[in-house]
Chain A
Amino acid sequence: MEIFSNPLIYFVIIPMLTLLGLAFCNNRGIRAIRTVAVVGAVALVALAVYLVCLFLQARGAGDTSEMILQSKVTWYAPFNIELALGVDGVSVVMILLSAFIVFAGVFASWKMDPLPRQFFLWFFLLSTGVFGFFISIDLFTMFMFYEVALIPMYLLIGVWGSGNKNYSAMKLTLMLMGGSAFLMLGLIGIYFHSSADGNLTMNILDIAHNDAIPHQWQMYLFPLTFVGFGVLGAMFPFHTWSPDGHASAPTAVSMLHAGVLMKLGGYGCFRIAIYLMPYAASELAWIFLTLTGISIVYGAFSACVQTDLKYINAYSSVSHCGMVLFAILMFNTTAMTGAVLQMLSHGLMTALFFALIGMIYGRTHTRDIRDMGGMMHIMPYLGVGYVLAGLASLGLPGLSGFAAEMTIFFGSFENADLFRRVLTIIGASSIVITAVYILRVVAKLLFGEVQDEHHRTLTDASWEERLSTATLIVSVAIIGCFPNFFVNIISDSFLPVVNALKDYFPVAGL
Chain B
Amino acid sequence: MNLTLLMYLIPSLFMFGCGVYGFITRKNMIAIMISLELMLNSVDINFVVFNRYLFPGQLDGMFFTLFAIAIAAAETALALAIVINIFRATKNVDIQQILKLKF
User: Do A's and B's CB atoms come within 8 Å in the complex?
Assistant: no
Residues of A within 8 A of B (CB): none
